[in-house]
Structure 1
Amino acid sequence: MVWTKEQRYRRIEEASREELSKLRLEVRSCEWRQTFHIQPETGLLNDPNGFSYFNGEYHLFYQWFPLGPVHGLKYWYHTKSKDLVHWENVGIGIKPSNQYDSHGAYSGSAIEHKGKLHLLYTGNTRDENWIRHPYQCLAILEKTGVIEKWGQPVIHDVPKGYTDHFRDPKVWKKDNHFYAVIGAQRENNTGCIVLYRSEDLLSWNFEGELQTSLPSFGYMWECPDYFELQEQGVLVFSPQGLTPNGDEFQNIYQSGYILGEPLDLKSRTLTHGSFQELDRGFDFYAPQTMTDPDGRRILVGWMGLPEIDYPSDKNGWAHCLTLPRELSIRGGKLIQQPVKELKELRKQLYVIRDVIFDEKKSYEHFNGTSYEMVCEFENFDADAFGVEFRAGEQEKTVVKYDTAQNKVVLDRTNSGEAVGEAYGTERKCLVEGSKIKFHLFVDISSVEIFINDGEEVFTSRIFPDAESKEIRFFAEGGRAVFQASKWDI
């Protein structure tokens, strides 16, 4: 189906009860609905927004177009949780309802101030010639649950030297000042990030552009997020327009980070190392982080990408969010590990230990469509070893370690219905060690694989048949000793 501009910019309020009911039924009938991931009731989900802890609960919003699996008029949809595991759908958090967000409430962030949660977001507008003008807007969540918009934008204009691609404010507080980074595009069509400062979240001063050693790195930097962790400065962002380079930058758009000294707020200078991708899989974009009451830095990403068709589209919905991940720094890298609360999902445990030699083996109870599994391989001399999962007669998704190249490889060539094949069906990255650990969270239509306790992560959507449930362990050209623990979810 080709969506017209009018269809994409219809409001949910314009849809009849019958239309919405029919769409919900269509979505519920989809064989690829997830069991333990945040997903939209209907329509399209994208960027996580406003990730925060407020009034005793975690709050998470996401970009939402409710009327179909396309990017159209965006709302903020609100979910909340007491434990990062069980999420309650609250409903629409921010509607595009005035002249400053008439064509969508775009991405942003949240911060608590004076007992209220302040939501800073980009209001998208278009004039009669379809020319965009972005505004940075504010909405406030009271402890009662009511959200009210501030009457005027808090940042009206795009500074000189930048185009109308100016969005996604991420706010934090330091030394009694509020700061916000905003993703931007220079007039020479290169991406960058700018910095604002405020005393009260209402009046903002443009400080200037962040100074990095990446002066020409893609044409737009989306969803910036600056924070400090273990006395280092971390800038996360999603650059668009990078050229593939070996195993890197293989997706249509990338998400990653630069790590170095804390940001010098006066000179706006970030002294940093090379840009590193956050996730090595096929479907990961626009991550956002927050600090929880225990001081943990937690990340959630969009498990999807723009401008890619997904098999669930035909059922009226698209995309989900990743599981929450705790961040740390080890060996000059951001380490991502599933938050410990996810252990609450675990049900029956099964354990195996074995040696495999140039063979493929299956084991009792090692199957399913929704589970957590940890596999550790050691004492190996095989050319390659790994796991096939969501496997059947014709289908399989494969994660393996290629010992000649010292690379982990994720292969979804035969994962079921195709998605994004124009960008290849394998993803790989360098991992070295005498032990290789795969920690998988498999849901109905996705997998998140944490390698060696979060040294690397592969996040991907997969769309296999419901009967493709097998798990097979294999070694090629030699032996591997392994043990595996699997929990049903």
Structure 2
Amino acid sequence: MNTYQNNTKQADNALKKAEAKMNKRYRLGYHITAPANWINDPNGLIQYKGEYHAFYQHHPYDENWGPMHWGHVKSKDLVHWEHCPIALAPGDACDLDGCFSGSAVDNNGELTLIYTGHHYIDEPNNIFFQNQNVAVSTDGIHFTKIEQNPVIAEPPADSSQHFRDPKVWKHEDTWYMILGNSTKEEQPRVILYTSPDLRKWTYHGVLLQGDKDMGFMWECPDFFELDGKHVFMFSPQGIDAEGDKYNNLFQTGYYVGEYDYDTNEYKHGEFIELDNGHDFYAVQTFLDDQGRRIAIGWMDMWESEMPTKADGWCGALTIPRVLTLGENNKVLMNPVDEMKLLRQSEHVVLQDQVISVSSLTEVEADLLEVKVVFDLTKTSADLVGLKLRGTDHEETVITYSIPDQKLMLDCSKSGKKTDGVRRTALSAEGQLTLHVYVDRSSIELFANEGQATMTSRIYPSEKLLGIELVTEGGEAKVNGLTYWNLKDIWQAE
């Protein structure tokens, strides 16, 4: 077997060389990224010995997807992150061609990673097999793959080759694992295993199966209790667009329902898309010591334009978000309170004012938090919103159509010329709050306390000129417009 030291040190050395050559024009200031080269799915989110850990799918040798490693960052406060050595590297018999996504759990003080080993049979034709493996650590930094790997060698007999992304949790005295899987007829499903010790696993059948309308494979499954309900969160591949819904190549969404551990029966409502922007996938969650269910997603999308590849890096994770359950079993996402620690200066621009024409506030910054509140009971306009204006012609536009009750994010003039618009329904009765986080190449929008979220990468070539409030078809009452300059957490590196 290859050793941890050989595999990961070689990868870490390659990263240092790549980082030295990297162009930082779009480099994010307060998001999780690798030091250089490619990242995608978050894995193994956990709070361990007082620190938050986030792992991620990573190719340290190239800015394109390749043999997956596990990159690693940690933080004491969810916002100030530091890079750690690469946690997992492929090449052993159990994971010859990749260490794919998985989970992290605290097993009596031992940080345990459960992940998918990827093995090509015929790489040009994408024929492969997958198994499940375990690696352990006592310091949270250095990991050893156990000798018993693979702990699950093969999928059930009626499966396709897709068998990955274990999500593991403990209920009472038993460990539970769900896996993304599909039948030989390409019907998507999630299957269930249990274990007393994370080593020996017993198959218990199908937790949930979808029809062809729900795609052909459910990636990155997550299953957890939230406000008394059981939420199944996943990323289905192969759902067709339906009006304003499902407009990305792949989706991320959830069911809410009731689960019976004794019968393995899950009764749930309709599928709901979690984020309606361009770049949100493979979300994972964890429970912290404050009892918060926190989510982090991949802030990119398969087969989309990724201009940062030309700069020697690609991919990022979203800011951490707290999940709560709202009315009608809707999952709400909002930034963790710790994001306020990044605020460097506050600028209160408008308070209790009526505007009848667009109003521009000049801003010289590229890391921003913006919050605007419209009083719709005292607004006669048909459309309100804001623009993040460039110095010449570029702009990122957020608008809300009051008659249509539609929220729109338009990135077509900020690096997404093709298919740069996303819309979603939002019932804003009386008040519209737009809470926006802007980084050098991303925007994250939270409307009305998480009733709608939209996440997208943007690639402006111009410097930011300012924030412009928009009103069309009448006057708009603005309760407040405030923005904050935010800290660059990576600047010292």
* TM-score (structure 2 length as normaliser): 0.92
Q: Of the candidates 287, 291, 314, which is equivalent to residue 295 of structure 1?
A: 291
Contact residue 212 and residue 272 of structure 1 kept, 8 A = no
1:126 and 2:113 are equivalent in the alignment: no
Contact residue 104 and residue 125 of structure 1 kept, 8 A = yes
1:276 and 2:272 are equivalent in the alignment: yes
How far residue 40 of structure 1 moved from its aligned partner, in angstroms, is 1.5
1:108 maps to: 102
Distance in 1 of aligned mates of 2:12 and 2:266: 51
1:54-69 mapped onto 2 (5 Å cutoff): 54-69=48-63
1:383 maps to: 382
Distance in 1 of aligned mates of 2:322 and 2:122: 45
2:489 maps to: none
1:409 maps to: 408
Distance in 1 of aligned mates of 2:205 and 2:317: 32
Distance in 1 of aligned mates of 2:197 and 2:396: 50
Contact residue 48 and residue 288 of structure 1 kept, 8 A = yes
Contact residue 124 and residue 135 of structure 1 kept, 8 A = yes
1:176 and 2:173 are equivalent in the alignment: yes
2:206 maps to: 209
1:221 and 2:211 are equivalent in the alignment: no
1:25 maps to: 20
Q: Of the candidates 241, 245, 260, which is equivalent to residue 244 of structure 1?
A: 241
Match of 2:303, SS state, is coil
1:397 maps to: 396
Contact residue 45 and residue 62 of structure 1 kept, 8 A = yes
Q: For each residue in 1:404-431, what CA deviation from the matched residue of structure 2 results, as whole angstroms up to 9, or x when unmatched?
A: 211110001101x337x2xx21111111
Contact residue 356 and residue 475 of structure 1 kept, 8 A = no
1:329 maps to: 325
How far residue 56 of structure 1 moved from its aligned partner, in angstroms, is 1.4
1:85 and 2:92 are equivalent in the alignment: no
Match of 1:92, SS state, is coil
1:487 maps to: 484
Distance 1:361 1:122, change over 3 A: same
Distance 1:16 1:451, change over 3 A: closer
Q: For each residue in 1:378-424, what CA deviation from the matched residue of structure 2 results, as whole angstroms up to 9, or x when unmatched?
A: 12121111100143321000001011211110001101x337x2xx2
Distance in 2 of aligned mates of 1:428 and 1:367: 28
Q: For each residue in 1:37-65, what CA deviation from the matched residue of structure 2 results, as whole angstroms up to 9, or x when unmatched?
A: 11111111100001001111111100001
Distance in 2 of aligned mates of 1:301 and 1:189: 25
Contact residue 391 and residue 471 of structure 1 kept, 8 A = no
1:38 and 2:32 are equivalent in the alignment: yes
Question: How many residues are paired up?
Answer: 471
Q: Tell me the amino acid that sits aligned with residue 198 of structure 2.
A: L
How far residue 214 of structure 1 moved from its aligned partner, in angstroms, is 5.2
Distance in 1 of aligned mates of 2:296 and 2:436: 17
Match of 1:363, SS state, is strand
Contact residue 38 and residue 65 of structure 2 kept, 8 A = yes
1:373 maps to: 370
Distance in 2 of aligned mates of 1:240 and 1:370: 33
Distance in 2 of aligned mates of 1:16 and 1:113: 27
Match of 2:222, SS state, is strand
1:177-196 mapped onto 2 (5 Å cutoff): 177-196=174-193
Distance in 1 of aligned mates of 2:408 and 2:395: 14
How far residue 344 of structure 1 moved from its aligned partner, in angstroms, is 0.4
2:195 maps to: 198
Q: For each residue in 1:418-457, what CA deviation from the matched residue of structure 2 results, as whole angstroms up to 9, or x when unmatched?
A: 37x2xx2111111112110000111111011101011111
1:456 and 2:452 are equivalent in the alignment: yes
Contact residue 367 and residue 471 of structure 1 kept, 8 A = no
Q: For each residue in 1:151-194, what CA deviation from the matched residue of structure 2 results, as whole angstroms up to 9, or x when unmatched?
A: 22110011011111110000011121110110011111121111
Q: Tell me the amino acid that sits aligned with residue 102 of structure 1.
A: L
> Which segment is superposed worse, 179-188 or 119-128?
119-128
Unmatched runs of 5 consecutive residues or more in structure 1: 1-10
Q: Tell me the amino acid that sits aligned with residue 375 of structure 1.
A: V
2:132 maps to: 136
How far residue 22 of structure 1 moved from its aligned partner, in angstroms, is 5.2
Contact residue 311 and residue 418 of structure 1 kept, 8 A = no
Contact residue 242 and residue 253 of structure 1 kept, 8 A = yes
Q: For each residue in 1:262-284, what CA deviation from the matched residue of structure 2 results, as whole angstroms up to 9, or x when unmatched?
A: x2233322111111111110000
Distance 1:185 1:469, change over 3 A: farther
Contact residue 391 and residue 462 of structure 2 kept, 8 A = no
What value does the CA root-mean-square deviation take over the aligned residues?
1.9
Match of 2:344, SS state, is coil
Match of 2:267, SS state, is coil
1:258 and 2:255 are equivalent in the alignment: yes
Identity %: 37
Q: Tell me the amino acid that sits aligned with residue 303 of structure 1.
A: M
Unmatched runs of 5 consecutive residues or more in structure 2: 1-6, 487-493
Distance in 1 of aligned mates of 2:241 and 2:87: 37
Distance 1:113 1:14, change over 3 A: closer
Distance 1:96 1:15, change over 3 A: closer
How far residue 144 of structure 1 moved from its aligned partner, in angstroms, is 6.3
Q: Tell me the amino acid that sits aligned with residue 261 of structure 2.
A: L
2:422 maps to: 427
1:145 and 2:141 are equivalent in the alignment: yes
Distance 1:259 1:147, change over 3 A: same
2:154 maps to: 157
Distance in 1 of aligned mates of 2:389 and 2:265: 47
Distance 1:139 1:377, change over 3 A: same
Q: For each residue in 1:108-136, what CA deviation from the matched residue of structure 2 results, as whole angstroms up to 9, or x when unmatched?
A: 00111121011100000113676311010
Distance in 1 of aligned mates of 2:109 and 2:235: 31
Distance 1:472 1:354, change over 3 A: farther
1:74 maps to: 68
Distance in 2 of aligned mates of 1:390 and 1:100: 51
Distance 1:16 1:357, change over 3 A: closer
